[in-house]
Structures are given as structure tokens and as C-alpha cells.
Amino acid sequence: MNPMQKRMWRGIAVILALGLVALSGCAQYQYLKDNPVDPARIAASDAANTKYNAIRFESFGPYMEQIYGYVLYGDAEILTDGGPVFKLGKMSLNEVRSDYEKTRLSTGWYKASPPIIREVYWNNQVFAYIVSDYMLDVGLWEDLDASKEANKLMLRLYYKDRRVLDRDSGGGNERDGGGR
């Protein structure tokens, strides 16, 4: 290897090392693993009637109908950068499933899916439940810096409406050209 190539490789090594240092400073969130559960199994369990802190969140945007979901969680604070979030007090999974149906019918959103229920794990234990329509991508993240500062568990709720305006009722369907 000639001297020029050695300098080039050293330069690349320095850039990679600086990049790794920069990336390690950005890792302030930890994704909380979740698993879908069988609604019939969860409805028959003790968890279905246990009261948790509950919030309802809704998508926002150009659609006539907004999609909504719920998070039931233990002793923590939920932060979000998204749209509307409503604190509902203490609710059980069965109460949330009823509220989902009531809200769906009162808002006139008849295309809603049956609620998808997911268990969320923190410290290898079920800590929360996410209940939402299948057209919402929902995730909970632990905000490590905020948790350390507040000396309690701080969670970040992220969700995204998966509908595509021209494809899923926002202006036509795929058969007629997507309303374009």
C-alpha cells in the first residue's frame, strides 16, 4: 500500500469513527416491542377487566373520517408529536373495545376494522396495550433522556395513517384511475 492509500484509509477510518460517535449520541429512544394478541383470548383473561390509564388518539388530515386508537398503560407519562390525544382516565380493555365501537358508529366511520390489540413489553413484562384500526401504524418508544430527567417512565407515541389519499377513499379507487 502506498503512502497516499494509507492516508486515504486513515481518513475513512476517522470519518467512520466520528460518524459512530455522532450516532451514539442520538440514541435517546428505545422502541418497546409489541405483539398482536387474539382478541378472544384477551377478552377471556384477567387483563380484559383490569383498569389502566387510557388515552385515545386520532389521525388527522384530508380524510372525511379520522382513524383512532387507544393506549392503555401503567405508571408512565405519554408524549406525542402527532395529532389530537384525549386522556380518558382509567379504563379496561373491554371498556376500550366498547368505546371503539361507540366512537366508530357516532363518527359514521363504517369502514373501520375490528380493533387490533397488541401487548407492549417493557422490562420483559406486558406494560401496555395498543388498540387500533389496522390502517394505523402505532408504536411506543421509551424516551430515555426524559425518563432519566423526570425520574419516571416517559413514553413517546408515534402513529401514522397508512391510507393513501387516491387509493383508499380520498378521491376514487384504483379501478377508475385512483381519482386522478
- How much is the pLDDT for 161? 86
Beta bridge mates, 86: 56
- How much is the pLDDT for 156? 93
Q: Where are the domains of the chain?
A: 29-163
Residues written for the chain: 180
- How much is the pLDDT for 70? 96
Tens of pLDDT along 139-148? 999 999 989 9
Residues of the chain with pLDDT under 70: 1, 3-27, 82, 166-180
- Asked whether the beta carbons of 143 and 157 are under 8 A apart, the reply is no
The per-residue DSSP string of 5-36 comes to: HHHHHHHHHHHHHHHHHHHHHH--EEEPPEEE
- How much is the pLDDT for 171? 39
Predicted TM-score (pTM) of the model is: 0.75
